[in-house]
C-alpha cells in the first residue's frame, strides 16, 4: 500500500530529532481529519547504519519506515537527500510530504519542490485538511502577519513545518522497516560533506542563565546597550540579543537568541526593543516569565509576553533598574 | 568566471504596514521599498570574489514591477557590472516555483558558474528561490551560508548555519547555487563615484515573450500556491499591558517579577 502521508525523519548521531515525533503527531491528526487509515502514515529515514533509529520510528508513529540506505546518505547533503527522496516519493505517490523546518529540512525542500514540480509551503505553523483541500498557515513579513495559503491540486502537498507547531506523537505503533537502496551513489554527489563544527566560541553561555535581558534593533546602537547591561546586572542576569544586533556588530554572535542562535529558557526574560520576529521567538518562548518593552504596540513580541509595556526604553529600563536595586537594598 | 546574484525589492521593515482591502497582501500605497537585507550580503560576497580577481563579472537579476529597477540601480551603484530586470504584468501573483522557472529561462544561456541569493526575502519569507533554481538547472545547492571560499579544482567550500551555533562544512562542485545568511560579511555601501558610474551601466528589461514563455504556464494564472488571506498574528494569551509613567510601570513589573519568578 502506498503512503497517504510521508514524513521525513531527521536524526543525528543515532538519535531521532524531536521534530520527527512532531511531524508524526501532525500526520496522525491530519489523517484523522481526512479519514485516512493510520496504516497509510509512513516515515522516510535516510542514512547508513541507522536500523536502530528506523526501528524506533516504526514503534512510535509510522506504519512503515522506508529506510533509504547508502554511502551517499551517510551525512546530510542537499544533493544526496534530494535525489533519494524524489525517487521514493515517486514510487509511494503520497498525498502529502511533511518535512521539518530545520536547517536541513529547509535546505532540501525547495530541491524536492522543483524536482517534483509541486509548490512548497515553508515554515508552516498550522496545517488543516478540509474537504480535500489543505489550508496552511505561515508567517510573512517576519511575523507582522500570518498568511493562509492553499496549494491547489498539486500532489504531494509539500510543506516544511515549524518546530513546536504540533504535539509529538506519543502513542505506540507496530510498524515495519523496509530498506531500499538509495537512488544516488556516492560518486554521483556534487555536494561533499566535510564536517560539522562549532561556530565561533564565546565566553557567554546563555543556555544556563536564569535571567536574560535582551536588546533588539529598537535600542538604536551599540552604545545604547548600557541601559540593557545595567538592568541585567541589577538582576544578576545575562545580556542577550536579537539577530540584527549581532549582524550589525553591536554585540558578538554568542549573545544571539533565536533559531540561528541559541535557544534559552530562563526563569525571567526581558525583551527590550525586540519586535519579535519568529526567528527570535522560537529561541525564547520557553522562558518562564516574559516581559516585553517596545515602542510599537503592534509588535508581535507582545503576543508571547506575559506582561508588556509600550514605551520608551530609555525611560522604562532605568526606572526598572532603579526599582530592582532598591528592592535588593542596593540603592 | 561569471557570477549572478538574485535580488528582490521589498518593503522596508519600518514601513507602516496595513492590509489591502481584500486582506490578501499588504497595501503597497503606504510603503517605502529597498533592497532585501539578505541580498545585500549575497551581493557583497560576490563583489569580494571579484575584488580578489576570482570572478570576472557580477550580474544582478530581479523579477518585479517598475519600482524594482531602483533596487537594481542600488546594486549597480554598489559595484555590480550589469543588471537584468524581468518585468511583466502577467507575473503578478506568481508562486515561487513558477518564478523560478522564469528566472531559469532568463539565466540558462548566460553560463554563470556561481549563483548567489539571499536566504529569504523579508516580505514573503518563503526562502525557496535558491534551491528551486538550483534544481531546475540541475546544480548543487547549499543554503544559509556563513562563509564561502573557492577551492582548487572548481569547488567552493560553504559553511552552512545549523542550530545551536554549529556549522556544516560542505564542498560544492561548480557551477553551483548558494543562499547567504545575514552576518556573513559587512556589506559595503554605494560610493558617490559608484552612483555616478551606475548611470552608465546596463539594466536589460525582459518580458515573458522575450524569454519564450507563455503567461498561461508561469505567471499568476499558473500559480498553485495561493494566498487565501493575511491577518495580524494571533495574540496567543497576549501580554497584560501596563500603562502609566515609567516609575509606576517599573514598580508594577517588579511586583510581577517577584511573584512569578522569585529572582528578586
Helix ranges (H only) for chain B are 37-51, 69-78, 96-107, 129-136, 192-198, 215-218, 246-261
Residues of B with Cβ-Cβ distance to A327 under 8 angstroms: 254, 258, 264
Interface membership of B250 toward A (CB under 8 Å): yes
Asked if the Cβ–Cβ distance from A118 to B97 is below 8 Å, we say yes
Asked if the Cβ–Cβ distance from B231 to A254 is below 8 Å, we say no
A271, β-bridge pairs:
A214, A292
Model confidence, pTM: 0.88
Interface membership of B157 toward A (CB under 8 Å): yes
Q: Which of A79, A310, A93 has its CA nearest to residue B138?
A: A79
Q: Mean pLDDT across the stretch B180-195?
A: 94
Length of chain A as a residue count = 331
A303 has a pLDDT exceeding 80 = yes
Nearest CA in chain A to B229: A148
C-alpha cell at position A103: 536547517
Q: How confident is the model over A304-320, as pLDDT tens digits?
A: 999 999 999 999 999 99
Nearest to B166 among A82, A139, A197 (CB): A197
| Distance of residue B103 Cα from the nearest chain A Cα, in angstroms | 13
Asked if the Cβ–Cβ distance from B165 to A102 is below 8 Å, we say no
Q: Mean pLDDT across the stretch B161-171?
A: 90
Q: How confident is the model over A98-135, as pLDDT tens digits?
A: 999 999 999 999 999 999 999 999 999 999 998 878 99
Q: How many other CB atoms are found less than 10 A from the CB of residue B234?
A: 13
Task: Give the pLDDT score at B10.
Answer: 98
For chain A, count helices (H), then strands (E). Answer: 9, 17
Query: What average pLDDT does chain B have?
Result: 95
Asked if the Cβ–Cβ distance from A307 to B256 is below 8 Å, we say yes
Share of chain A above pLDDT 90, in %: 84
Asked if the Cβ–Cβ distance from A199 to B238 is below 8 Å, we say no
C-alpha cell at position B196: 555616478
Q: Mean pLDDT across the stretch B113-128?
A: 97
Q: Mean pLDDT across the stretch B202-209?
A: 97
Asked if the Cβ–Cβ distance from A109 to B228 is below 8 Å, we say no
A203 has a pLDDT exceeding 80 = no
Q: How many CB pairs under 8 A join A and B?
A: 288
Task: Give the pLDDT score at A201.
Answer: 60
Asked if the Cβ–Cβ distance from B143 to A78 is below 8 Å, we say yes
Q: Mean pLDDT across the stretch A210-217?
A: 96
A202 has a pLDDT exceeding 80 = no
Task: Give the pLDDT score at A1.
Answer: 67
Q: How confident is the model over A6-24, as pLDDT tens digits?
A: 999 999 999 999 999 999 9
Q: How confident is the model over B214-262, as pLDDT tens digits?
A: 988 888 888 999 999 999 877 666 889 999 999 999 999 999 999 999 8
| Concatenated DSSP letters of B32-69 | -EEE-HHHHHHHHHHHHHHHTTS-SEEEEEEE--GGGH
Length of chain B as a residue count = 264
* ipTM score assigned to the predicted complex: 0.93
Please provide residue B24's backbone torsions phi and psi, each rounded to the nearest 5 degrees. -110, -15
Hey, of A75, A77, A78, A130, which one would you mutate to test binding to chain B, going by the most B CBs within 10 A of its CB? Answer: A78
B164 has a pLDDT exceeding 90 = no
Task: Give the pLDDT score at B48.
Answer: 98
B153 has a pLDDT exceeding 90 = yes
C-alpha cell at position A178: 523496509
Q: Is B236 or B42 the better-scoring residue by pLDDT?
A: B42
Amino acid at each position: 500500500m502506498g503512503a497517504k502521508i510521508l514524513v521525513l525523519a531527521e536524526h543525528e548521531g543515532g538519535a531521532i530529532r524531536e521534530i520527527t515525533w512532531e511531524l508524526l503527531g501532525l500526520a496522525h491528526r491530519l489523517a484523522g481529519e481526512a479519514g485516512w487509515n493510520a496504516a497509510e502514515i509512513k516515515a522516510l529515514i535516510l542514512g547508513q547504519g541507522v536500523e536502530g533509529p528506523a526501528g524506533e520510528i516504526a514503534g512510535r508513529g509510522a506504519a512503515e519506515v522506508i529506510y533509504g540506505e547508502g554511502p551517499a546518505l551517510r551525512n546530510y547533503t542537499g544533493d544526496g537527500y534530494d535525489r533519494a527522496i524524489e525517487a521514493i516519493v515517486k514510487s509511494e505517490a503520497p498525498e502529502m510530504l511533511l518535512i521539518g523546518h530545520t536547517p536541513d529540512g529547509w535546505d532540501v525542500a525547495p530541491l524536492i519542490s522543483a524536482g517534483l514540480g509541486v509548490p512548497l509551503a515553508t515554515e508552516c505553523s498550522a496545517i488543516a485538511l478540509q474537504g480535500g483541500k489543505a489550508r496552511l498557515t505561515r508567517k510573512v513579513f517576519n511575523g507582522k502577519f500570518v498568511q493562509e495559503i492553499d496549494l491547489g491540486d498539486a500532489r504531494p502537498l509539500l510543506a516544511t513545518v515549524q518546530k513546536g507547531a504540533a504535539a509529538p506523537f506519543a502513542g505506540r505503533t507496530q510498524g515495519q522497516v523496509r530498506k531500499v537502496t538509495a537512488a544516488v551513489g556516492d560518486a554521483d554527489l556534487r555536494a561533499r560533506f566535510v564536517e560539522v563544527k562549532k561556530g565561533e566560541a564565546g565566553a557567554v553561555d546563555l543556555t544556563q542563565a536564569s535571567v536574560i535581558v535582551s536588546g533588539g534593533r529598537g535600542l538604536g546602537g551599540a552604545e545604547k546597550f548600557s541601559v540593557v547591561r545595567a538592568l541585567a546586572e541589577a538582576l544578576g542576569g545575562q545580556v542577550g540579543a536579537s539577530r540584527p544586533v549581532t549582524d550589525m556588530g553591536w554585540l558578538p554572535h554568542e549573545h544571539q537568541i533565536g533559531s540561528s542562535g541559541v535557544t534559552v529558557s530562563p526563569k525571567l526574560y526581558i525583551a527590550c526593543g525586540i519586535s519579535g520576529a519568529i526567528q527570535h521567538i522560537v529561541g525564547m518562548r520557553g522562558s518562564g516569565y516574559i516581559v516585553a518593552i517596545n515602542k510599537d504596540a503592534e509588535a508581535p513580541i507582545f503576543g508571547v509576553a506575559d506582561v508588556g509595556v509600550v514605551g520608551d526604553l530609555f525611560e522604562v529600563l532605568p526606572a526598572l533598574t532603579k526599582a530592582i536595586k532598591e528592592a535588593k537594598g542596593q540603592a | 568566471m561569471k557570477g549572478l546574484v538574485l535580488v528582490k525589492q521589498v518593503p522596508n521593515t519600518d514601513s507602516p504596514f496595513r492590509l489591502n482591502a481584500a486582506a490578501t497582501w499588504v497595501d503597497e500605497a503606504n510603503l517605502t521599498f529597498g533592497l532585501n537585507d539578505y541580498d545585500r550580503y549575497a551581493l557583497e560576497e560576490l563583489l569580494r570574489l571579484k575584488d580578489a580577481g576570482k570572478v570576472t563579472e557580477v550580474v544582478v537579476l530581479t523579477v518585479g514591477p517598475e519600482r524594482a529597477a531602483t533596487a537594481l540601480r542600488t546594486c549597480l551603484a554598489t559595484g555590480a557590472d550589469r543588471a537584468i530586470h524581468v518585468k511583466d504584468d502577467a507575473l503578478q501573483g506568481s508562486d515561487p516555483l513558477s518564478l523560478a522557472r522564469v528566472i531559469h529561462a532568463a539565466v540558462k544561456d548566460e553560463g554563470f558558474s556561481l549563483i548567489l541569493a539571499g536566504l529569504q526575502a523579508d516580505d514573503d519569507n518563503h526562502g525557496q528561490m535558491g534551491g528551486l533554481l538550483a534544481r531546475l538547472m540541475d546544480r548543487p545547492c547549499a543554503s544559509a551560508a556563513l562563509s564561502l571560499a573557492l577551492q582548487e579544482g572548481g569547488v567552493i567550500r560553504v559553511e552552512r548555519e545549523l542550530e545551536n551555533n554549529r556549522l556544516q562544512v560542505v564542498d560544492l562542485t561548480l557551477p553551483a547555487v548558494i543562499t547567504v545568511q545575514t552576518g556573513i560579511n559587512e556589506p559595503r555601501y554605494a560610493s558617490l563615484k559608484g552612483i555616478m558610474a551606475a548611470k552608465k551601466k546596463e539594466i536589460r528589461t525582459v518580458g515573458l515573450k522575450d524569454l519564450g514563455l507563455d503567461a498561461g504556464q508561469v505567471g499568476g494564472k499558473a500559480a498553485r500556491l495561493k494566498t487565501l488571506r493575511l491577518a495580524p498574528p494571533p495574540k496567543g494569551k497576549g501580554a497584560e499591558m501596563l500603562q502609566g509613567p515609567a516609575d509606576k510601570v517599573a514598580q508594577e513589573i517588579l511586583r510581577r517579577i517577584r511573584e512569578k519568578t522569585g529572582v528578586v
